[in-house]
Structure 1
Amino acid sequence: MTTEGAREHTLEELTLSETIREIEQHVARGGWDGPPRVFAIIRTKEALESSPELAQQMPELPAQVEANEFAMLSIEQEDLPPADTLEELLGSLAWPPTVHGAALVVERVIVPPEAEVGMPSNPDEALSYLAEHPEREDVRLAVAVLRDGPSWCAIRTRRNDDPTQVALGPDLVPGLVAALTATFED
């Protein structure tokens, strides 16, 4: 399911869309209630040039590059630095020049705006309030950005936990797009 209008997207944007869809589906196979997950995104063509042995390990890669010069690989980042908040985690990330983009997958609870009016200011009480709210919605947000600008997002709700019911678009989660893009700034 795509939420975009009639604007034509570049092949690079469409490739990033496919990459974030694959990442979100990969994470979804592990179920819900998982921690934030971070992925480096590299261009397959450059990965093959710098590590030719990848062609033997993953024989489909050269054909992918031949079919699409923007083909991308995602590599999950293990051993993330300890962080108490998502903001702290993102603030601790830095990428070498060989990384062309990054993706983040995080789960959140959303409630209608009117429900936030009665939310307690104490963080622990607010969490309980959200967890017990009858109109709460669990969502998985997957965001990918490229160093040179394009971004793409995928949103899945727990209520409609189906790969055909994932919303896709370049700016569905603008705050996370901006925060992830900032990890590439010097």
Structure 2
Amino acid sequence: MSIDPAVPVPAVSPQLAALADSVREIEHHVAAAGWDGPVRVFALVRTQHMLRTEPGLASQLDSAVLDAARAEPWHLTSVEQEELPAAPDLETLLAGLSWPSTVDGMAVTVERVVLPPAAEEAMPQDTEAALEYLLAHPERQDVRLVVGALRDGPAWCAVRTRAHDDDEQVGQGPDLVPGLVSAVRSTLE
């Protein structure tokens, strides 16, 4: 594929670039722990601001991270949230989260099983039967989703399939999982 120099390439905002970098970093971090993991939630905070309010944190960060934060005002640090509140499902968990104004964004990771649309249409209505159908279906795909959003700003998604479990095979884009993007955004309102 070649790029036509006469066609302008849309500029990426510093916020979107920082968010995309943060989501990729979170995805690689979670992938290192393997599959079949729990839902994980991360606060996203601008590193420069974090270091101004808590200077002692600088000793806990890698020098490359500190250099990147000095060079880019929108550099983000992800802070995993321990001890999430109990919730029967992801939607309920996200609906119960809120963030102080010092948090610039948030990200969530979740694993799901997906089917092609035609197979979904044939899924039984009964919950137990649907679960059996889903787990036994030959076309099912296990996926890990990472969705991040900034307060009043962009969103970014990363999707990895178990069948193509490789850092170079991670799909990315601003709105790959619209429903989850919306749920993540609602925690920041």
Over the residues paired in the alignment, what is the CA RMSD in angstroms?
Answer: 1.2
Unaligned runs of 5+ in 1: 1-5
Is contact 2:109-2:144 (8 Å) kept?
A: yes
What is aligned with 1:13? 16
- 1:33 aligned to 2:36? yes
What is aligned with 1:176? 180
**Cα offset for 1:9?**
1.4
- Number of corresponding residues: 180
What is aligned with 1:3? none
What is aligned with 2:158? 154
CA distance in 1, matches of 2:91, 2:60: 36
CA distance in 1, matches of 2:83, 2:34: 20
What is aligned with 1:67? 71
CA distance in 2, matches of 1:133, 1:109: 10
Unaligned runs of 5+ in 2: 1-8
TM-score by length of structure 2 reads 0.91
TM-score by length of structure 1 reads 0.93
- 1:115 aligned to 2:127? no
Instruction: Supply the AA of the counterpart residue of 2:18.
Output: T
Q: Deviations over 1:111-156 (max 9, x none)?
A: 1111112211111111110010011011100000001221100000
Q: What are the equivalent positions in structure 2 for 1:93-172 lying under 5 Å apart?
A: 93-172=97-176
- Which aligned runs of 4 or more in structure 1 are off by greater than 3 angstroms? none
What is aligned with 1:57? 60
Percent of matched pairs sharing the same residue: 52
CA distance in 2, matches of 1:36, 1:95: 18
